[in-house]
Structure 1
Amino acid sequence: MAPTLAPVSEALRLQALRPYQLFNTMQDETFAELVRLTAKLFNVPIGIIAFVEEEDVRFGLNYGLDPEMDRVNRWETLCSVAMLHEGTSVFEDLRERPCDLINPGLVQRLNLGFYAGSTLRTREGHSIGVLCVIDHKPRTFSPAEAELLESLAAVVMSLLDLRLQLLQEPTWNQQLWAGIYVRIESSVTRLETLAALAGWEDGEDSAAATAYRQSTQEEILRVISILAEQIQALQA
């Protein structure tokens, strides 16, 4: 074990993780849809809800990875680093500025250029994992985007808690996503359009590119707010 990557309260953290570990093997369409939506919101090819266990990190709840890659060594993944921090951990260019706290083998094998991850934290404050977005090419990630990812991680944590409460309700996810997609369909379409428009810009600092980023962040915030509202409605 690499002590620099182990929280001081590791035993308590692992105990807090235990109820959520059942999601490692569940084929739950709710979380499959959530990581797909996360990747789409941030216009990246990979989104992951990662659970950090004692020696491994479980990637079973992911969008964009090989289905066989559901478990990796904890000391090879950036999720082990992101889990230790408040807020969002960002590595904008892993080729030029790699993280020296982990073994770089996995980053190199997956040809990763960018990583941003926000901690999944229980109500008691224990870090059980990370919500992360990943790209094969380097990219910038603004403080506003980092804050949005952190807000989305809080929504994911609320949804994980809700799922534990509703394990015996087979149709709960249908109710959840039926309500969500009626309200976010226009935002998702608009985000796709904004991403396409931004791709035509020659520079990130142009007035148009700045406007596209601002509009994108506003749409993501709207989607996050709707997710939170729908979860609260099911909790009532």
Structure 2
Amino acid sequence: MTSTKYPGLIPSYEHERLEALQPYQVLGTPGQELFNDFVGIVAKLFDMPIALVSLVRADDVVFIGNKGLSEAPVVDRGDSMCSVAILNDGITEFQDVATTPCELVNPFVAQQMQLGFYAGQALRTPSGQAVGSLCIIDRRPRQLSVLESELLRELALVAQELLRLQAARATDDAALLPALRIRLDGSVQQSLTRLTTLAELRQWETATDSAEAQRYADSRLDEARYLARTLYRELQAVKVQAR
């Protein structure tokens, strides 16, 4: 990283991390629509306007999956909270970005973008190096529940498999993406339909904190976790099939 304005963002193992990142440099390659489809699902599962898959490079952060963010797909490393997410084993969560901003990155960027909430889970290579993050962002402050945190961790495993799939495609295994689409289309659409139905049923409840509304919310989260596990299982199956 050329800038030393935020030296806390650079881990002691940065050289090894950047080496591990090399196979995943997918910006501008075919297949990026797969990441966009994925983060679209993630945003829907959490009912948040923004979801991203990022890669944290030496000097910048590139968003290879982008739902809801109209800014440029590449930002300075010191301007992105994804740079902080890769430093942590667990979820990096900022519940109220406006009043309690992240001190390791430029706080004015989040303010200019009117961000209220950020949660990100590091994405790791098979060797354990963090190369990017899966994050969800809201315009208002909020807090993840325990089950929502677990859902984000499970979806991060899916994102890791998608990164590996993209790396495999870079070695000219062009059959992987069509095979994955065939396996996923049916199960994903069924789950999304059920999630939409549960959300609509909850809206019929006049009291959002009623027992019935909570049951709908819990059922929706259960369905979301089922979908995350289905995605992960199918990605594993495609990987085995491709060998």
Q: TM-score, with normalisation over the residues of structure 1? A: 0.90
Which 4+ residue blocks in structure 1 deviate beyond 4 angstroms?
196-205
Aligned length: 234
**Structure 2 stretches of 5 or more lacking a match?**
none
Letter in 2 for 1:6: I
Q: Tell me the equivalent position of 2:190.
A: 186
Cα RMSD, aligned residues only: 2.0
1:157 to 141, 149, 160: 160
**1:8-157 → structure 2 map (5 Å cutoff):** 8-21=12-25, 23-28=26-31, 29-66=33-70, 69-157=72-160
Structure 1 residues 208 and 90, CA gap change in structure 2 (3 angstroms): farther
Displacement of 1:90 = 1.4
| CA distance in 2: counterparts of 1:204 and 1:87, whole angstroms | 30
| CA distance in 2: counterparts of 1:73 and 1:209, whole angstroms | 42
| CA distance in 2: counterparts of 1:140 and 1:199, whole angstroms | 21
Q: Tell me the equivalent position of 1:5.
A: 9
Displacement of 1:185 = 1.6
Maintained 8 Å contact 1:5/1:81: yes
Q: TM-score, with normalisation over the residues of structure 2? A: 0.88
**Structure 1 stretches of 5 or more lacking a match?**
none
- 1:169-218 Cα distance to aligned partner (Å, 9 max, x none): 33432321222120122211222233345556677654234323321221
Displacement of 1:146 = 1.1
**1:165-184 → structure 2 map (5 Å cutoff):** 165-167=168-170, 168-184=172-188
Maintained 8 Å contact 1:24/1:61: no
Q: Tell me the equivalent position of 1:226.
A: 230
Identity %: 40
| CA distance in 1: counterparts of 2:12 and 2:136, whole angstroms | 26
| CA distance in 2: counterparts of 1:224 and 1:85, whole angstroms | 22
